[in-house]
Structure 1
Amino acid sequence: MENKFHSLRQHFEELYSLTDEEWNFIEPHFHFKTLKKHQFLIQAGQAVNFEYWIINGLVKAYHIDDKGKEHILQFAMEKYWVSDHCAFQHQEPGTIIVDCLEDSEFFCLSLEDREKICLAVPAVANFFRVKSNHGYINLQKRVLSLLTMTAEDRYQYLVTKLPALIQRVPKKLIASYLGVSRETLSRFNS
């Protein structure tokens, strides 16, 4: 477990250095969780009490509309943060589903504990600010790509930016994420 906490500390320190005293305050606020492939991390309609940092594994975050159509918002793997951020922040029932595409390990952080850490350790508050900004920028890029790029260009962008993801996610899910059929995706590979 110590090695897992070490990787979390390294993740924070990619942006801001922490003293041992600060880390000793931060570490107990995180809780370890494991899930098997196909288990749900978050389900729509339920309370979203945590945000999660992925130690190992791969998850899919998605929404199911009133017609039963699945809309994939994100794939998240090692060193990604994932949650239904709106429900987490406002402490209301979730609308996003997060399930494991692989056996996965997480560190969980509650809103209350995150706020305690941010008040006590300004470097962590800055860390979460930077990470939130990066998340917002990536979401904006995704929306703009859906509005302005062809499906093939979106696929090529994904292959270039996240080649490891393409190897780990089933093609039918990549197709769904891109908004194309599995057959159309197959033509991009030829």
Structure 2
Amino acid sequence: MEEVLRRQIEKIVTLTDEEFRFVLTHFTARTVKKHQYVVQAGDPAPNDHFVVKGLLKSFYTDDLGKTHILQFAMEDWWISDPQAYHNKVNATLHIDCLEDTQLFFISIDNREKLCVELQKMEYFFMKKTTAGYIALQRRILSLMSQKAEERFNQFIQLYPTLLQRVPKALIASYLGISRETLSRMSAH
């Protein structure tokens, strides 16, 4: 498990064995079962989660009870409620497991300490956060300007394995389309 985290970090910065051991002291490993929540709306969400194995989704439930999928996170991805995590407020999102999941998490306090003590980790987190903001911008622009079929094609191009791992109803919610529309498009 630890090697997966090290490979993730070393895509951006190089660590000595000693530095990696130090980095690991700031993280906690956790195994979470399918359907178990990692974060629940209304509760504190002090951790950012790195997925070693498994699959999670973050979602928002509106006042009418409709679920809106914000993000899926599979192996080698990070997931949190950014507003709750960075501002130390209660979560507006739910995050639960679609599969049994192994992950590492880091609290905002440990992340800040780690970044002060090992500057290359500050650079790592800055690069990961920037990539997340860029992906979110692309997603918002896609929802605002692309037709349903274009969004679906982009989804399967970017995340081909998710089509087999995620129920179609959840993919439809993520794409902002009906389950029926998704069924018609995926039949082609």
TM-score range for the pair, normalised by the shorter chain length: over 0.9
Shift of 1:21: 2.2
Deviations 1:1-31 (A, max 9, x none): xxx1111111100111012221121111111
Match of 1:159 among 141, 145, 156: 156
Match of 1:77 among 66, 69, 74: 74
Match of 1:109 among 106, 111, 121: 106
3-state SS in 2 of match to 1:29: coil
Match for residue 23 of structure 1?
A: 20
Deviation larger for 15-24 or 36-45: 15-24
AA matched with 1:146: L
3-state SS in 2 of match to 1:37: coil
AA matched with 1:157: Q
Match for residue 56 of structure 1?
A: 53
Match for residue 9 of structure 1?
A: 6
Shift of 1:184: 0.7
Match for residue 36 of structure 1?
A: 33
Match for residue 62 of structure 2?
A: 65
Shift of 1:107: 0.3
AA matched with 2:117: A
Tell me if 1:175 matches 2:172. yes
3-state SS in 1 of match to 2:25: helix
Q: Percentage identity across aligned positions?
A: 46
The two structures have a TM-score, normalised by structure 2, of: 0.97
Long gaps (5+) in structure 1: none
What RMSD over aligned residues (CA atoms) do the two structures have, in Å? Answer: 0.8
Runs of 4+ in 1 over 3 A off after TM superposition: none
Long gaps (5+) in structure 2: none
Shift of 1:66: 1.2
3-state SS in 2 of match to 1:105: strand
AA matched with 2:180: E
AA matched with 1:65: D
Tell me if 1:92 matches 2:122. no
Q: Distance in 1 between matches of 2:100 and 2:44?
A: 23
Tell me if 1:123 matches 2:120. yes
AA matched with 2:181: T
Aligned residues: 187
Shift of 1:86: 0.6
Q: Distance in 2 between matches of 1:50 and 1:148?
A: 33
